[in-house]
Chain A
Amino acid sequence: MTANELLPLAVLASSLVPGLVIFTLPEAWVGTRSALNLFGALAKLALVGVLLAGVNEGQDYAVRYEALPGLDIAFKADGLGLLFVTLSALLWLLTTLYAIGYLEGSPRRSRFFGFFSICVTATMGIAMAANLFTFFVFYELLTLSTFPLVVHRGTEQAMKAGTLYLAYTLAGGTVLLTGIVWLHHLLGHTEFAHGGIVAALGPQAAGQLKVIFVLLIAGLAVKAALVPLHGWLPRAMVAPAPVSALLHAVAVVKAGAFGIIRIVYEIYGIELAQSLELLTPLAVVAAATILWGSLRALFQDDLKRRLAFSTVSQVAYIVLGVTLFGPVGTVGGLVHLVHQGIMKVTLFFCAGNFAETLGIHKVSEMDGAGRRMPVSALAFSVAALGMMGAPLTAGAISKAWLVEGAYAAGMDWAAWVLWTSSLLNAAYFLPILWRFWFRRTPAAWPHERIAARGWRETSWLLLLPPLATALATLVAGAFPHIELSPLDWARLIAEREYAPR
């Protein structure tokens, strides 16, 4: 096995092995566990760095293993996959730091961090999968390894949410599997390739291809939380904040969105998908999700639930971008995959900080929180403004490209959907900011657990991760054209997808 084959496997192992070791550690070994976690996260980041540098030089990283005759588990490192890999690896490091601080002193931490690492491994596998079969293997692994995290608290409410989550995702997985086996039966393989692979079947398969497309997308739409399959996401907010932050804002919903990107660009090919008239219905679903998610978010008093509905809406931006036929829309969708990740993770980190430090969970309790916890509130404000698409934030870049893409594709209505959504975003985020900064601090907080010391309003580990991601939101928004920025990267991928073959 050559070094180039080993590298993708090492990226997987850097979270899988620490995860498995952590399972066996006694609960009290906090130091060892944290060290292992951080070692894994840093090692992964380093490995991803090597991978990026290599791909930049034109190196080929691919490895495959025969699971059954003619059926391979295969990994590759391509531009699109690496976009997701890098995002996850970076956010994993930050979320691990956050989780160590957040769960300090709580029970069942070995189990938590073990499954957490397996989740990240699954996400990496999804990102680097070279065919639909491999994608599915890790997609299901992600489903299963998130369940113990959702039900981590072990309450009856958590159980209900976890069961609902599994009901949705396992049913979705079954539908997805149906589509994959069918496709595999028709084609004999399901390798991802630029420009798609199903065109080889010729026009007589058009009918079957349409049905398969619906099966594949419906299966993925469950995780991507497209309306009407989004019901599990707000309920899953009973999970601890780091889970909501990394998994529900990034890994799980992104796995769905990422899968849709792979299907449209690398299984069907954007031209064929367009000529089969598959893109417009998907765009309508995405638009409906954007509006419905934003509308529902307006009426949530629980902060995490409001953020969850916001996720429902924002992830659909990515899908909408994919369906806008043309490179500009594609760039918008891809860049939002990253931007939404860093902004939403910030919001959940901050929501966790408020809950953990002051015991406030509801929007109506946020009065004056900005004076007590200025740093968290500032990070939250930056991310919230980003979500609205305010200038100089990452959100502005995504939105500009998406709107531009909608016009370029001649789908003006999609631009209107985006504008309306921006207004709705403002309508549900601005009141929170207003309460943070302009309302009076209450005499006593409901449940103040961590006392402020100087400007350190809560523990370091809870404070640094949201600061870092808020800063990233600003950098990505203010300097979108620097090399290796998400935008730069997305353009590179889009160029290749639309390049004449």
Chain B
Amino acid sequence: MAWLIVLPLGWASLAFLLGPGRGAVAAIIGLAAQLWLVADLAAAVSAAGARTHAVGGWGAPLGIDLAADGLSVVMLLLMQAVALPLAVYARAYFAPGADESRYFWPMTGFLVAAANALFLSADLFNLYVALELLGLAAVGLVAAGGGAPQLAAALRYLLATLVGSGAYLLGVAALYGTYGTVSIATLTPLLAAGQAPALVWIAGGAMLAGLAVKTALFPFHFWLPPAHGGAPAPVSALLSGLVVKASFYLILRLWLGPLGELAAAAPGAGWLLALLGSAAILWGSFQAIRAAHLKMLIAYSTVAQLGYLFLIFPLLAAPSAAQAGVMHVFAHGFAKAAMFAAAGALIRATGQDTVAGLAGLAERLPLTLFAFGLAGLTLMGLPPSAGFLAKWQLIEAALAQGYWFVAVVVLAGGLLAAFYVLRVLRQAFLSAPAAGALRPVPRTLEWTAFALAAASVLLGFRGVDLLALLAAGGAP
């Protein structure tokens, strides 16, 4: 388990020393090894239940405990499975010796290490450390893009991420002050035991609010579109597909664990999140429909898609709600990475980033457009994609509890997604004379985007396995 954190740190340092060329190879080998480790861990967890590992042989409370249950393993799997093809993509994307790629590989390594640490941490303070590292690595990746707009976006992102983790840390401190522990396993029964004092309520609120900022929940999404839309394509794919999911994972983990009792006592909190989520779906889709630039369109689509995740909170009484959330995280992770990867290839070919400039590309880059379409299928929640299964479960959970409102939002969101995905496809299918020759696109870019998109659709056929893995080890 610890290898999942050590290994990316190792190849990150190696990449820093070796430079981008050989660093990329190290990263790809490292990620492949990590994927194998996660698969091994997944097999172990589904066979024998949740596992813990005391780092260095010192158990908690003295040392650090790592814990892996179904939810952790699913997130780890997503992380490595998406990061590996993206690494292959990035290696072909960055021209050899390009300035922006010098920091890409080390930063990515730190990012992956931080995310893996986050998914494996069993106490609130370690979670904070991982969260902070993850945020800083992500900001670094955006800033490494180089230009002034990227720097401005990165600063905005930095501000948001610091405020978010600051609020979270405040909450952790208050909990520690009250109960004298930060271990999730110890805290959960303590919080459930009796009347929580006001300070604990404030702590819970601060933690949730901070994490919501980091997950770019409407109206805290202001930092996401410029950061994700402005970064180089592999970075956008990593951030939109994976990084925002990490803080969502933490919300879900807290909600189902230590904060569960508070959430049950204040159903309004869940509804507030769902309401903001609905607003995110509508506002994000609306902005995506209006966006003139392809990457902005995709970034706003992320804002909208993240909204779905928050719809599950008032519905958690039905087990299918949490499953729908995780399924959506998985589907969107692959699809959004694929979409940004495809966008990167399109931009590489045309040399510009407007939706209008895509006319006639369906004929010249069919594979990339196909990848974009397949990813779009997942975002629209159409069968047979995993996005469809998530949508189905979410609607069913909503209907089972009589919350029509949620079902309507989900269905309407699907149509809005169709709107902005089709804007792109429609333009690409126009047989307009392309303005000037296309620049050559490495085949690797096209194929990795396609592989990610195909995975997001074909995952729909492995829904049962994913849910079985999630349920393994007594996941929340």
Contacts and interface: CB of A to CB of B under 8 A. Distances in A.
Interface of A: 23, 65-69, 71, 73, 107-108, 111, 136-137, 140-141, 144, 147-148, 151, 153-156, 159, 162-163, 166, 170-171, 173-174, 177-178, 181-182, 184-185
B430 interface: yes
A108 B363 contact: yes
Nearest to A138: B383
Contacts of A147: 425
Contacts of B370: 23
Interface in B332-378: 360, 362-363, 366, 370, 377
B422 A141 contact: no
B383 A136 contact: yes
Given A69-B467, A166-B422, A170-B415, 12 more contacts: A23-B366, A67-B460, A68-B393, A68-B463, A111-B366, A141-B384, A151-B429, A154-B429, A171-B415, A174-B411, A181-B407, A185-B396
B430 A154 contact: yes
Interface string B416-439: 001000100110011110000000
A159 B429 contact: yes
A66 B461 CA distance: 8
A485 to B, nearest CB: 35
B383 A156 contact: no
22 contacts: A66-B464, A67-B389, A68-B389, A68-B393, A68-B467, A69-B467, A71-B392, A73-B384, A136-B383, A140-B382, A140-B383, A148-B429, A154-B363, A154-B429, A154-B430, A154-B431, A162-B429, A163-B422, A174-B415, A177-B411, A178-B411, A185-B399
Given A174-B411, A178-B411, A182-B399, A67 B461 contact: yes
B239 to A, nearest CB: 29
Nearest to A151: B429
Interface of B: 360, 362-363, 366, 370, 377, 380, 382-384, 388-389, 392-393, 395-396, 399-400, 407, 411, 414-415, 418, 422, 425-426, 429-432, 460-461, 463-464, 467
Contacts of B395: 177-178, 181
A111 B389 CA distance: 28
A177 B363 CA distance: 33
Contacts of B360: 154
A147 B362 CA distance: 13
A166 B467 CA distance: 32
A68 B362 CA distance: 34
Nearest to A27: B363
A371 B292 CA distance: 55
A144 B399 CA distance: 27
Contacts of B388: 137
Given A159-B426, A159-B430, A163-B426, A65 B414 contact: no
Nearest to A150: B429
A154 B425 CA distance: 11
Contacts of A140: 382-383
Contact of A69 (B384, B399, B464): B464
Contact of A67 (B380, B418, B431, B463): B463
A162 B411 contact: no
Contacts of A148: 429
A185 B467 CA distance: 19
Instruction: Report the 3 A-B pairs with minimum CB-CB distance, sorted nearest first.
Output: A154-B431, A137-B383, A185-B399
B432 to A, nearest CB: 8
A144 B407 CA distance: 23
Contacts of A136: 383
A63 to B, nearest CB: 14
A159 B359 CA distance: 12
A209 to B, nearest CB: 15
A156 B427 CA distance: 10
A107 B463 CA distance: 39
Nearest to A111: B366
B396 A181 contact: yes
Nearest to B374: A144
Contact of B400 (A107, A156, A185): A185
A141 B418 contact: no
A154 B392 CA distance: 34
B425 to A, nearest CB: 8
Given A137-B384, A141-B383, A171-B415, A181 B399 contact: yes
Contacts of A185: 396, 399-400
Contacts of B377: 144
A153 B389 CA distance: 34
Contacts of B415: 170-171, 174
Contacts of A171: 415
Contacts of A154: 360, 363, 429-432
A163 B418 CA distance: 11
A485 B382 CA distance: 37
Contacts of A66: 464
B381 to A, nearest CB: 9
B459 to A, nearest CB: 11
B311 to A, nearest CB: 15
Contacts of B463: 67-68
Contacts of A166: 418, 422
A111 B467 CA distance: 36
B135 to A, nearest CB: 34
Contacts of A153: 431
Contacts of A170: 380, 415, 418
A361 B415 CA distance: 35
Given A144-B377, A162-B426, A170-B418, A184 B396 contact: yes
A88 B362 CA distance: 29
Contacts of A159: 426, 429-430
A11 B362 CA distance: 30
B364 to A, nearest CB: 11
B431 A155 contact: yes
Contacts of B389: 67-68
Contacts of B396: 181, 184-185
Contacts of A108: 363
B392 A174 contact: no
A5 B464 CA distance: 21
A159 B418 CA distance: 15
A140 B414 CA distance: 13
Contact of A181 (B366, B392, B418, B429): B392
A140 B415 CA distance: 13
Contacts of A184: 396
B466 to A, nearest CB: 10
A23 B454 CA distance: 15
A184 B377 CA distance: 23
A279 B400 CA distance: 29
Contacts of A155: 431
